[in-house]
Structure 1
């Protein structure tokens, strides 16, 4: 898929490995608190309901609207990246979601202020994946990209653990302090990115000029021309299969264990928590595999999801130990998407890398928005929870098949790798 010219364009070609890692840490700081911002509802929802008198429906709608903002944000900030560069765009995004997280503190009893602020927050969060991951991709040789993308993806699990521990320590009474932990760190990340990450504006200008010579504009319409239309559609469907299978299982697992098999909430919760631990490991495991054996190798994990859920649905209420094992293994399998940031960036020509990763990943949310309510509706039919799991298994298998027919992007160019390795010493 990629040719040699595409692999040569890497930011900061004179950077040592130490400087590249410092730049990666700066980007990762913003990425971590992008993930962390999704946990804000955990911090403030009880206060909105118990102290400010919001209804449960109102409180839920405030945070549900965040997801609706991510799709337009992905598209708009992708275009900003092509015009202003990914570094400047990422900095602007972080400042925007930090300020929008702060805004409700000015009038925390206002439903409309919360709702508007969380929508704009979601809009800005939608641009993070598509700007941060391509920056990392262009900072490092290909053999590191899968692992680094997986580290970024795995921070979502770390953010959940961190948020849970912090909320447990401070509690509802300190909700404002908890909110500030989602406001100040991204600003620190912006400062780090400003000083440590090389500016890609000149590189993006060069890409626009080269595209103009070919009478091409860097936009989504051009990106999806020819064979890339089918590749683009394939990765959006692949991402959609990921969101549907993951949420379809995760949203119903504890309900199945408690209402169908009669387990206690404590037992069901402890079984489910092992999935999170396994997933944290899985992201990085499959990231390593993708750098070693190819970007398509982790589809084994996606196919394994179906197999594990099948056995999960066949166990009885007394098979507690087996449930623990399967939940952990399922988490590892669900980590198959860890290297998608690198893969989705590499699937398209270099001039479109500012656009490809974000829309390829977040475009799957469009699929899940329509599919998940239908999956949830199956639980109310005669098929019940096992019907839901059956659909999840089928969707995961379909995703693995789609992935199998997508191109491989891991390229081994010995001459180029030797040159790059000399620069990294």
Structure 2
């Protein structure tokens, strides 16, 4: 190995190349090859949902005498939850930078390994400080997953299906939430497991599930888009050709011709300064949009979801062993939102669907707060209200990840996802659980109603921002939405475009019409 050569980076040759790889990927029909990607990568959100829900549901049990940890319910839903989110923000930024530099596949293997190790150590917690530390590093791994996985998914899925696939995958968080709720019911049953054992076994189950995902994920390919930009064009060509051959054999017949080509000046890495200037100078409006969407959804979900079990036990006398049933119901409502509404983001369009799901969920949450404050709700009717609110909010929240993963240039994608996730989640996800735990612990109905109203306000404001700034990215190639910084095109200087809208290619990709394949 030559002096100064990075051991993580495969040999690459840089130069100027013309390639049809993006157009070839976008024209592919849906196939078993795409299902492999979805299953291998999408399951990370199930893990996240499992983690968050388990901790919320076992908070009451951990605070009971004999649990093995000297910890209060407020510390679990407040401090531990905030540390988990802080870890996720830190992991997103750290691994996001590595993902853009070293590739998607290396990092979505490493981040899963970090999660597995931290979760296993959580199950072995012997003191409060150890539990807090493990929650931080569990979040650290999960945060890194967000950047690596969202980048890979959007770069491998055809433009025709990208919106619905991205939303459903992000919405699968709630399948994990259902599993976590039901698992907690079994594991917290003292007739089956001792009070200091059941909660440990719930974390051990997460490790087993993660190991299964790791085995499947080995077969997911690197992003061809990342490969050809980073001087590994031969690998990108081979990967796409193999996928095409498999799909032709599966479907029969010939594939349609690709829509066009782009000319790329290959390079091994992109400087952080160029990334920052691109995102926050050239794409200022999109940056405001991304921050608004993430802050709105992060506060609502991280503040409210972490404390749902505490609301049931504090205001409706629901036993700690039964809260899982209620949470499983609202989790299903969350999953069905992206599942049933996802296609509309590709047909009706991003701007209408993003803004409407945010605004509608915010308005419905205001109504829920009013009913709760007036004493008109029971545990069951509150759960029903949450199902309706989160049916729309879940689709909106998933669209936040979709938005920031498709509206910035390819070289900045993972870092952009990481940044907006970290900032938005830090604003709502760290302060949210701390504030909400204090409000719910007070036992005052008005305090909890106030927390609902804060979340509703931020969701509604984010929806209004989307009305003005959302990008019509439906059924368009990623290179058409935001041309790569490495792309050679007229008027391009210093890696920047001449306009924020983003025209893909050099007049040949997508016919130079501003629209990509499948439009």
TM-score, length of structure 1 as denominator length = 0.80
Partner SS state of residue 35, structure 2: helix
Q: Label 1:12 to 1:207 Cα distance change in 2 as closer, same or farther (>3 A).
A: farther
* Aligned pairs for 1:176-255 within 5 A: 176-198=200-222, 200=224, 202-203=227-228, 205-206=230-231, 210=265, 220-247=275-302
Distance 1:254 1:17, change over 3 A: closer
The SS at the match of 1:195 is coil
RMSD: 4.2
Kept after mapping to 1: 8 A contact 2:228/2:266: no
Is the 1:43–1:167 contact (alpha carbons within 8 Å) kept by the matching residues of 2?
A: yes
Q: CA deviation at 1:34?
A: 3.6
Choose from 323, 342, 348 the match for 1:287.
Answer: 342
Change in 2 beyond 3 A, CA 1:223/1:117: farther
Distance 1:109 1:250, change over 3 A: closer
Counterpart in 2 of 1:360? 420
Rate the CA distance shift 1:215–1:108 in 2: closer, same or farther, 3 A: closer
Aligned with residue 456 of structure 2, among 353, 369, 393 = 393
- Quick one: distance in 2 between partners of 1:237 and 1:353? 18
Offset of residue 287 of structure 1: 2.0
Are 1:43 and 1:179, in contact at CA under 8 Å, matched by a contact in 2?
A: no
**SS at the partner of 1:163?**
helix
Match 1:70 to one of 82, 88, 97: 88
- Preserved contact between residue 283 and residue 337 of structure 1 (Cα < 8 Å): no
Instruction: Tell me by how many angstroms 1:233 deviates.
Output: 3.4
Q: Counterparts in 2 of 1:136-175, with a 5 A limit?
A: 136-171=153-188, 172-173=193-194, 174-175=198-199
Displacement of 1:226 after TM fit?
A: 1.9
Q: CA deviation at 1:74?
A: 0.8
2:404 maps to 344
Structure 2: unaligned runs, 5 residues or longer:
1-18, 234-263, 478-508
Bigger helix fraction: 1
Deviating more after overlay: 62-71 vs 167-176: 167-176
Deviations 1:140-167 (A, max 9, x none): 1122122212222222211121112223
Contact 2:47 2:173 in 1 (8 A): no
Query: 2:357 aligned with 1:301, yes or no?
Result: yes
Match of 1:130 among 147, 155, 158: 147
Q: Against the structure 1 CA distance between its residues 207 and 409, is the aligned structure 2 distance closer, same or farther, given a 3 Å change threshold? A: farther
Residues 250 and 31 (structure 1 numbering): CA distance in 2 closer, same or farther, change over 3 Å? closer
Segment drifting more, 124-133 vs 240-249: 240-249
Task: Tell me if structure 1 keeps the 8 A contact 2:82–2:431.
Answer: no
Deviates more, 1:127-136 or 1:381-390: 381-390
Alpha-carbon distance change, 207 to 228 in structure 1, aligned in 2, over 3 angstroms: farther
Comparing 213-222 and 178-187, the one that deviates more = 213-222
- For residue 345 of structure 1, report the CA deviation from its aligned partner: 1.0
Whether 1:24 aligns to 2:46 is no
Q: Equivalent residue of 1:54, what SS?
A: coil
Aligned residues of 2:330 and 2:386 also touching (Cα < 8 A): yes
Q: Report deviation, 1:313.
A: 4.1
- What does the per-residue CA deviation read over 1:103-126, in whole Å, with 9 as the maximum and x for residues that have no partner? 355x53244443333222211111
The 1-side partners of 2:185 and 2:311 are apart by: 26
Q: Which one has a bigger Cα radius of gyration?
A: 2
Gaps of 5+ in 1: none
- The aligned residue for residue 50 of structure 1 is 66
Distance in 2 separating the partners of 1:403 and 1:124: 30
- In structure 1, what is the Cα distance between the partners aligned to 2:136 and 2:421? 19
